[in-house]
Structure 1
């Protein structure tokens, strides 16, 4: 679509005609010769000049080029623009951090596929979390894995393909055999330090209980709440197990409640999928669409056309003038030669 930034300038198109009709002719004084019979000459030529007037000569080409150049210059001043199709940019309204437990216990093959095949916990989690990430197209997602220590895997990003690729390369036991839940929450809080999103959500998945974090999980949850972070916790595995392999739902519930989050049970593949489906509902995608229409300036086209016309006209007049002088000199030369021949013959 084409538009003019200053269309009101086109109202000046008839200005030259108004000047021609309303203003008096331009006058200038020049040295001249007084002729007593000047009026005879002017009348014979059909001219009626005023005293002191200069009557410039014009030609038909000048009368065509001048109005065209005036229109082109006014069009350039009006700033014609090409409005290109709108470009939409999605601005995320939420930063979502996923903290995944990949301790040694995640090797336990107590999950089953729909076909009945046994599946390790870590493989089931990767499948469900991958599907969850694919649905969150407008959220910036970050990834933390933890075991004996917590490690940042990806920062907050909209490049979800990179998250999925790195998630696929993680495996149980890579972060050590133990489960440091408090340290994982502490690392997540640091990752949110540079976040400007209005909503900050941490989804924590674990199949055990904290085994000696430097920062107690409850204390870490309170700090997260002070930083505006909501923690949702997904417990994985058998809650009736013993020792460090037992899922401490009481502690996980304290973590979630401290930040206004929820706790979900994922004892099997079906429950795990339900947990992430519920998370998808209670954290609806939050984003703002920004629309921008690029504008391409086109004023240089009519301006260049006016310059080309003016330069072309003056070059043409220069060539005509030079040719006229050349023909005039040849004529004078021919007349001189003819006169000389006549004299010799006489």
Structure 2
């Protein structure tokens, strides 16, 4: 290890007076065990950084827009019957149905969902949209009696079919909820269901309430035929628990589809070994400086002694 020195003008005089013979001197810094270990680790880290390590994750999955899902709900006066139990209190059928729909709708990610409400007439509350939160909000704004007091199932199916005609997604599913008997004669439910079947619309029907009670006015036969004609299924929901099971079954029958993304998540790891190499370099330099300082102190101490 070379270092700067001072030129002494009276060097020859000092040599003559001290009678010492000049000789060549050098300080050779020897690398210790710790220093060799650090150098090897630095070399390994630099090689690892140059090899460009990377972490390739599993392909991410995203929800695939696979179907148009239409909910056609009966809001005729009979849906105001307070014979359903939620918690410790009696509530109207519509309030119970709406509460469970609030849980059902957010689970349909990937579906373009729409809403139709019907009574004496049928109207579109929400056209098909992937914005499920908006659909959920529009559901909350609906109440019994807004479409009249009677139940016209045929009109609801016919309006839903027209809504599907304007949509481009080939898979079409309708969920029809009602607690009554069709009271119309202009559009019969089975005729509307036949036209829907020709357009490949699958209709799942849900009968609300207990048909055996005095207040029951449910036409299960017609709902069953509608489901059979369109390739769907009929469900009877007499309370909140059974309706919740119906929604779970529909989620199973019409599962959310996923598709694999083309890009896989990639994380470069070279900064870690490179950073470690730099840290080890600084440590090795620090150890060298400290070692040199200790040697000089030892030498000066020996000279003074």
Q: How far 1:192 moved relative to its partner?
A: 0.3
SS in 1 for 2:205: strand
- Which of 120, 124, 143 is the equivalent residue of 1:171? 143
TM-score (norm 2): 0.64
Instruction: Flag the 1:289–1:220 CA change in 2: closer, same or farther, 3 A.
Output: farther
Contact 1:97 1:203 in 2 (8 A): yes
In structure 1, what is the equivalent of residue 71 of structure 2?
A: 98
* 1:289 CA drift (Å): 5.8
Cα deviation digits, residues 99-123 of structure 1 (max 9, x gap): 000000111111111x321111011
Flag the 1:290–1:142 CA change in 2: closer, same or farther, 3 A. Answer: farther
The SS at the match of 1:126 is helix
| Residue aligning to 1:139 | 111
Count of matched residue pairs: 206
1:269 to 237, 240, 245: 240
Distance 2:116 2:189 in 1: 16
Alignment of 1:112-261 (within 5 A): 112-113=85-86, 115-241=87-213, 246-261=217-232
> Offset of 1:240 from its aligned partner?
2.0
Q: Which has the larger radius of gyration?
A: 1
TM-superposed deviation, 1:89: 7.1
Q: Mind listing any 5+ residue stretches in structure 2 that lack a counterpart?
A: 1-58, 265-305
Q: Deviations over 1:234-280 (max 9, x none)?
A: 0001212468x511101100110000110001011111111111111
CA distance in 2, matches of 1:173, 1:147: 7
What is the rounded CA distance, in whole Å, between the counterparts of 1:200 and 1:109 in structure 2? Answer: 33
1:192 partner SS: helix
Alpha-carbon distance in 1 for matches of 2:258, 2:168: 13
Shift of residue 186 of structure 1? 0.2
Highest relative contact order (Cα 8 Å, sep 6+), 1 or 2?
2
> Cα distance 1:292–1:151, how it changes in 2: closer, same or farther (>3 A)?
farther
Where 2:101 maps in the other structure, the secondary structure is helix
Residues 275-314 of structure 1 correspond to what in structure 2 (within 5 A)?
A: 275-288=246-259
User: For the aligned residues, what is the CA RMSD?
Assistant: 2.1
